[in-house]
Structure 1
């Protein structure tokens, strides 16, 4: 940076500090309850976490008993660490008396926190909001009004969000004539540049089905509700700013902004702005691209530049998903980016009206001095601050710049609390400018330092941590730690474009013959079955040759012949083949996904993540095999050596399902192969095209002939024969409970020539429940239940088929759930706008319809979405009034039917959840620490998910599998899964020779 400019920025900043010296934002004022609690939170991280979580749940605590219980849960015990006396006393009294004292203290705490929330909200009702907006203008500040609530779970809620804006704009319209414009301008504009009425809007709330995968549908869905809001604003002579939210909506937001700005109706109206977030690494590029677009189109517009409010969220989500971290990881980097982007905008001030949104005096000073250096007219930029958040800064700005707009949220307290928590987290963070300047008393010279120098100083103290890249196939000379394959990221335009192309490529090969693969050779048979697209059963994707008993015998013979040589390969040699297979699947991930979209009706993201899980199994089991493959010394006594090691059993029959056609097929097959077994693989007849993909993958990976044999066939013809064959030592099965029990029964019988007691590894069904507690976050619970119940048409063994709701929150939950289900789009999975598609075949369709009839008999059907079309579309059903004794509470449907149960208490909810023979997955949405701990102990299922959906287990992170009638054996994707495919052996050697015993440093000679 220019030294003269940097010096001017520092001098400007010092003058600012001088003008506000001795003042402090109200949140840091220790003379009030809020200030005391915030001060304590900044000194005690554990207490801060508990406090902010408590603030978040507070609106749901509608009874004194519930409030007192949560105060005790959050602020006693070790979770909160040391707590301030005012809260400690309340927590102790709530437990000690449970009476008048507890109620009074609870009421006081609620009142103080709600008061804190209202400090940052301009009003809960429209009349109150307009009154306060008028007061703000009397104080010399402009405003932008923002309706709270960005999480809409249904189109009814999106309509309500739109209508909320229309209502407040009508109220403002009645008042704005009495507002005098700021400055000396006579054109009715504030400062001669900005309309008096200004609104900010969160686009995702205008379309509940917005998601990156359906980019075009999301843009148009949002625009449909945004147009009438903007039309009213234009008629009022106002301005609109489109807020930027999470990264997943960034490109959607930019595109809808461009379309709205360039529509013929609005082209001649310049007062439309968009928010850009400096903490995103791509924002400088986005700003430059927007400016270039505006120049090319001849369309002036505005940019509000913020640092960004979702840093923690974006960082955590990226790490969980395996994506590159999209934000700058050090605060000075965001400050540097803000200054660079601010300069770019100011250099284009003839086109772009700049709105600098920051409480950071260095950032503000930079904008003022850069504008002066560039000769930017004062009416081409303004400053913005959050209402109720940084009073001294905004007052100082008003004195110096005279052009200050307050960002004014208004609306109900419930979404207001979420807004409050985000603001408090942002401003009490260790690196927050407000905290450093007003609470921690950091030196002015440090606070006004050029952020480039700050970054250099930080890097000198602690070099930046390298961001871990997604795992790639590793050299066997030194295996890297396992990392899951990144999940589908449809914010990437190239991935969105790749899917239609890959689907077209699958169609281009439609109708081809798929032979068996036995002993390294293709084997055609006369018996063939078409595999079809369930969205259009007339579309034949392939003709699949079917194995009879003769082909099964041939495949087993080929596998037996290959066994000894394959067993005797080193674990590393076998693992190397799996890593090569993983690399091939990774290269072809979209093509493999496209086959699932057409053959079994999986949505794009579901199909992509299924292939990703297959890659994970290959990578994970390769590493596990190397770990297990090292013989283990047992005992330490001198004079003998004992080594435990594992070896493959022989021929494994792998019987795979259609619902995770690649992931589960690969998982069971890879586990058998890498441990030294050979495989006869029977895919589901409904997913044989996907199953045939294993032939190509293992062939290219260099797997020896006979180790893997592809044998699709009719279960009625060859299923029992394969299971009962005396040369089969292991059976790995995933499917229904009925079939799994039959396999176990058949495998238990010993046949002539059989050398093994057959090992059966079976993952079977589930009747999975999600419990919604009385304090649950319904925004999250509704979306989690809907996704768990209806993702891939409810055809997952882990799908939620029962939701058990505690009585006091039941009505709210039911209303929002039914509205959310009514908003889902149903149609072919190849169209990304559809959240639900057809079930897999006619028998599944008939089964769902059968259970729909049962639903009408046993309960009250709240939702019955009958999709039309020639595909195997089954009704989406939500049925209430179900009790544990009903069939819908006990029997696995494996389709889009959700039973809703109303429990009197959390204890009853857990008892009902455990009232079935199954124990696969379960979920709990609760913000009660005590109830979450109770669920950990008493909700005994294989995979329990707290405050998230109950599907989508990740290899190595959430090993998957259940107990009771949900399965036998260990968890797939876990550290002991491979042990089921091997025989342990121990070799003992006597090392004494005529009294001489070699000394080994591991021997235990003396106690």
Structure 2
């Protein structure tokens, strides 16, 4: 039976190929500009990258000279191997010439022509002729309204109104349309509404975030209800599109929740999408079918392969997550067939919209539906407008119900959609490319994907058997939690409750392995509600600090002589213990220092990364290095620790930075006296306990919370302290440097100071920047963790060409952020750390009122925490205090410039040099920024916060600090001194043979 079905599938596939009659999709026809671009792109990967990037940026280039300049930058770089004629012509083009204007005009026409192949029109009115033309040819449609990424409530409203207007417009127009396929009234083929729309949930609620899963679903439902009501009024079909994986579970929950409401429960014309390339797509489909069966109502599932494959793979690898998609095309094709079978077998509760251009997939569904006797009103076929015209022609001739997914929108917001379509068609395994460009045989293309997979598996097994396994696992970053998973959100909520029950935590001093409670105690409170006491902390004085130094000094010799491998093992064990307590360690930070759920988890991940990375680095550096290779001499360079190290930590990354500085000192063989920030002593105590549970010997790590003016003073000036690691403000850091280097006569060493002191970080937004990305990243960089990161963006430098548009979108987006206590996951921004910080920030806000203009000021409605308003200032000049001085709070200054060179001058015009970012799609400007934007960490087309250990070694210069970069290959060297031992092996004219 199975073999007979396979035979019929191949027969039907061959029949569909015959119906194509040697047609070629327009995108592959080389007599069109699009066809030429596609052909070059398929045969030159570098050209493909540059061309698609140029197509993406082109609509933002409002001046002909910008078009000519970008053409030269994208296609005339010396390292490119593009057609000589193309490069020669572009190189001779003066950006300000008449010829440049003609080129720009021609390019605009070509790209608009390309867009018109995939986009039916800029507005529903403009697209109506196309839609009615499709119906005249016997094809239905579903309309998707393209738009800019929605980043604010204002843009949500626009998108909502566009869909409501679309439904009214199409509803009125449909009254004159003859039903397709012999249908009657408002139904095509007797079962499908004439009016059919598709929409993305993220366009209806701009702050969709899986961390605040339930809240996001409720907010999105508020936006969807008017659309569903309007659809019911016209009898239209509504399909919720599926986007990237981060929103997949929210979309599934959103659809089910909405359709369970009494108002919509009985409406039959709704559906959603399942993407076959997702590994969990079978589980998702099963849950939808089970849900539909329980509620006794049918829904439609549009089954697609998936359109975000490249991005999904990159995002997963960046987060060290399992790749959520199948990694080869036959796997996706096989999954598509498997899911199609499940859908068709359950046709009593779900209808199937088979969305594919793959002849094999279409033939499979067609034949299987016959075998399973699926009623005709439970199945339709869908393809993309502007693509696969031959496939469309074959399905029409076969008499199958066919619907075209038809985007409508302006060319600029349509670029993202257009580029996805181009990527899809030029990929090596694209069915259309293989069929109509590469000339792969129809027999091969109609093969069962399971057979193809079996062959590939045999080949891979033969290859893998010869690969030896590595003895030591390389460093890999700790994956952040995937908040799309209900288990993660539930466990974190439980951790918050568990940690709160432990308050107030009693925190002792630890000196020489002995816990000391002492008589002096201070409180650590929740900055979002100061009535809540997180911990009662023993406070060290001068005597306790001196005793801690003495204990560390006594433990030093034994710890120094411990091998680097053994010391690293303590770090690895501490990392494993931290993993087992990840939720609690993050939950504590929500309460003690006011970090949001994601920010708190990121801090714990970074702490684990430091332990794992520095452990491996010490193993690398712990092997003596042979210097020179002359006969009769053996010379080795090696490193040894400096001695007692004082670690003075900040409160803003209370676990990560504390762990980083402490583990670096410990693994290099130093003993440590650790003073946490007075605002985060409970988190500091949890770090000490990690090392305690790992079995670290007594006296190697000593813990002395207390006032900086007392404890810090002893640690900095004591003659037995060999090194100081400090992260904090510039003024305190400079004071430490002065006192540490005022060497007393009794000192046995010159102190080494590693100090990270903060920044006045800028983000430059170029004239051609992608504002969809820039707005989101600027907001996160400026207001994430209330702007209390040394890397936070406090200056936004914008070129005048897009200044007004960026300001409008940024203001609207900032107005849409959720503010409030960060224990609630919906809130992006909460209280600042303490009363002193609040007073300082409020003072700078008043300075800003005198120096510039308030674009936006948002206050909190909470009285019991250290809340300050979120403020954005415009008309700030480079010399203003707001543009020069570190504020460390949610205050953003915007500076307008006339050129990219001026932007770089302004960015470099402060005493700080920590982080910076540039949003630009100009290769020349990006190269210029790399060379002249003088900061320790420069980010291109992403925000300026969020450095990752091992990937973004972190640290600055000028007034931003002294020392090498944390989380990088040079950091541990600062905690050691190099030694060289040379042995003369020549004896009486005889020397050992050189190895």
TM-score by length of 2: 0.98
Task: Report Cα offsets for 1:885-944 as digits up to 9, x if no partner.
Answer: 100110000000000000110000000000000000000000000000000000011000
**Which residue of structure 2 aligns with residue 847 of structure 1?**
840
Report the alpha carbon displacement of residue 458 of structure 1 after superposing the two structures with TM. Answer: 2.6
Which stretch of the first structure deviates more once superposed, 24-33 or 765-774? 24-33
**Which residue of structure 1 aligns with residue 55 of structure 2?**
55
Gaps of 5+ in 1: 467-474, 1002-1007
Identify which of 384, 403, 406 aligns with 1:405.
Answer: 403
**Which residue of structure 1 aligns with residue 90 of structure 2?**
91
For the pair 1:886 / 2:877, whether they are aligned, the reply is: no
**Which residue of structure 2 aligns with residue 727 of structure 1?**
720
For residues 439 and 100 of structure 1, the distance between their equivalents in structure 2, rounded to whole angstroms, comes to 37
Q: Is the 8 A contact 1:828 1:834 kept in 2?
A: yes
Identify which of 899, 908, 925 aligns with 1:905.
Answer: 899
**Which residue of structure 2 aligns with residue 348 of structure 1?**
346
**Which residue of structure 2 aligns with residue 579 of structure 1?**
572
Q: Is the 8 A contact 2:148 2:772 kept in 1?
A: no
Task: Report Cα offsets for 1:546-583 as digits up to 9, x if no partner.
Answer: 10000001111110110000000000010000000000
Report the alpha carbon displacement of residue 132 of structure 1 after superposing the two structures with TM. Answer: 2.1
Report the alpha carbon displacement of residue 457 of structure 1 after superposing the two structures with TM. Answer: 2.4
Which stretch of the first structure deviates more once superposed, 505-514 or 441-450? 505-514
Report the alpha carbon displacement of residue 628 of structure 1 after superposing the two structures with TM. Answer: 0.6
Report the alpha carbon displacement of residue 478 of structure 1 after superposing the two structures with TM. Answer: 4.2
For residues 399 and 599 of structure 2, the distance between their equivalents in structure 1, rounded to whole angstroms, comes to 52
Report the alpha carbon displacement of residue 717 of structure 1 after superposing the two structures with TM. Answer: 2.1
**Which residue of structure 2 aligns with residue 389 of structure 1?**
387
For residues 40 and 536 of structure 1, the distance between their equivalents in structure 2, rounded to whole angstroms, comes to 61
Change (3 A) 1:464 1:951: farther
Q: Matched residue of 1:183: which SS? A: helix
Report the alpha carbon displacement of residue 84 of structure 1 after superposing the two structures with TM. Answer: 8.3
For residues 584 and 34 of structure 1, the distance between their equivalents in structure 2, rounded to whole angstroms, comes to 57
Task: Report Cα offsets for 1:439-494 as digits up to 9, x if no partner.
Answer: 1111000110000111122333445999xxxxxxxx9x943111111123101211
For the pair 1:217 / 2:210, whether they are aligned, the reply is: no
Spell out the pairing of 1:724-763 with structure 2 (5 A cutoff): 724-763=717-756
For the pair 1:432 / 2:441, whether they are aligned, the reply is: no
For residues 15 and 583 of structure 2, the distance between their equivalents in structure 1, rounded to whole angstroms, comes to 58
**Which residue of structure 2 aligns with residue 457 of structure 1?**
455
Report the alpha carbon displacement of residue 418 of structure 1 after superposing the two structures with TM. Answer: 1.2
Q: Matched residue of 2:412: which SS? A: helix
Q: Is the 8 A contact 2:64 2:96 kept in 1?
A: no
For residues 11 and 850 of structure 1, the distance between their equivalents in structure 2, rounded to whole angstroms, comes to 78
Q: Is the 8 A contact 2:19 2:393 kept in 1?
A: no
Identify which of 638, 642, 660 aligns with 1:667.
Answer: 660
Report the alpha carbon displacement of residue 88 of structure 1 after superposing the two structures with TM. Answer: 4.1
Identify which of 276, 284, 299 aligns with 1:286.
Answer: 284
**Which residue of structure 2 aligns with residue 529 of structure 1?**
522
Report the alpha carbon displacement of residue 31 of structure 1 after superposing the two structures with TM. Answer: 1.3
Q: Is the 8 A contact 1:656 1:733 kept in 2?
A: yes
For residues 757 and 597 of structure 1, the distance between their equivalents in structure 2, rounded to whole angstroms, comes to 40
Which stretch of the first structure deviates more once superposed, 747-756 or 62-71? 747-756
For residues 464 and 542 of structure 1, the distance between their equivalents in structure 2, rounded to whole angstroms, comes to 59
For residues 167 and 83 of structure 2, the distance between their equivalents in structure 1, rounded to whole angstroms, comes to 44
Q: Is the 8 A contact 2:186 2:235 kept in 1?
A: no
Report the alpha carbon displacement of residue 33 of structure 1 after superposing the two structures with TM. Answer: 1.4
For residues 191 and 172 of structure 2, the distance between their equivalents in structure 1, rounded to whole angstroms, comes to 22
Q: Matched residue of 1:241: which SS? A: strand
Report the alpha carbon displacement of residue 217 of structure 1 after superposing the two structures with TM. Answer: 1.2
Spell out the pairing of 1:613-762 with structure 2 (5 A cutoff): 613-762=606-755
For residues 483 and 450 of structure 1, the distance between their equivalents in structure 2, rounded to whole angstroms, comes to 38
Please provide the CA RMSD for this pair: 1.4
**Which residue of structure 1 aligns with residue 759 of structure 2?**
766
Q: Is the 8 A contact 1:943 1:960 kept in 2?
A: yes
Q: Is the 8 A contact 1:71 1:94 kept in 2?
A: no
Change (3 A) 1:906 1:648: same
Q: Is the 8 A contact 1:9 1:369 kept in 2?
A: yes
For residues 460 and 80 of structure 1, the distance between their equivalents in structure 2, rounded to whole angstroms, comes to 38
Task: Report Cα offsets for 1:940-995 as digits up to 9, x if no partner.
Answer: 11000000111111111110000000010000011110000011111111111122
For residues 990 and 40 of structure 2, the distance between their equivalents in structure 1, rounded to whole angstroms, comes to 70
For residues 18 and 527 of structure 1, the distance between their equivalents in structure 2, rounded to whole angstroms, comes to 89
Q: Matched residue of 2:248: which SS? A: helix
Spell out the pairing of 1:87-126 with structure 2 (5 A cutoff): 87-88=86-87, 91-95=90-94, 98-126=96-124
For the pair 1:963 / 2:957, whether they are aligned, the reply is: yes
For residues 154 and 574 of structure 2, the distance between their equivalents in structure 1, rounded to whole angstroms, comes to 47
Q: Is the 8 A contact 2:297 2:349 kept in 1?
A: yes
For residues 675 and 718 of structure 1, the distance between their equivalents in structure 2, rounded to whole angstroms, comes to 24
For the pair 1:250 / 2:244, whether they are aligned, the reply is: no
Q: Matched residue of 1:922: which SS? A: strand
**Which residue of structure 2 aligns with residue 487 of structure 1?**
480
Identify which of 936, 939, 943 aligns with 2:933.
Answer: 939
Q: Matched residue of 1:435: which SS? A: helix
Q: Is the 8 A contact 2:840 2:887 kept in 1?
A: yes
**Which residue of structure 2 aligns with residue 470 of structure 1?**
none
Identify which of 300, 303, 321 aligns with 1:302.
Answer: 300
Change (3 A) 1:634 1:591: same
Q: Matched residue of 2:692: which SS? A: helix
Identify which of 188, 191, 214 aligns with 1:190.
Answer: 188
Report the alpha carbon displacement of residue 34 of structure 1 after superposing the two structures with TM. Answer: 1.2
**Which residue of structure 2 aligns with residue 371 of structure 1?**
369
Q: Is the 8 A contact 1:126 1:167 kept in 2?
A: no
Q: Matched residue of 1:532: which SS? A: strand
For residues 955 and 997 of structure 1, the distance between their equivalents in structure 2, rounded to whole angstroms, comes to 46
For the pair 1:803 / 2:796, whether they are aligned, the reply is: yes
**Which residue of structure 2 aligns with residue 871 of structure 1?**
865
Gaps of 5+ in 2: none
Identify which of 179, 184, 189 aligns with 1:181.
Answer: 179
Q: Is the 8 A contact 2:595 2:822 kept in 1?
A: yes
Q: Is the 8 A contact 1:50 1:80 kept in 2?
A: no
Report the alpha carbon displacement of residue 75 of structure 1 after superposing the two structures with TM. Answer: 1.1
Report the alpha carbon displacement of residue 350 of structure 1 after superposing the two structures with TM. Answer: 1.3
Q: Is the 8 A contact 1:827 1:867 kept in 2?
A: yes
TM-score by length of 1: 0.97
Q: Is the 8 A contact 2:645 2:672 kept in 1?
A: yes
**Which residue of structure 2 aligns with residue 924 of structure 1?**
918
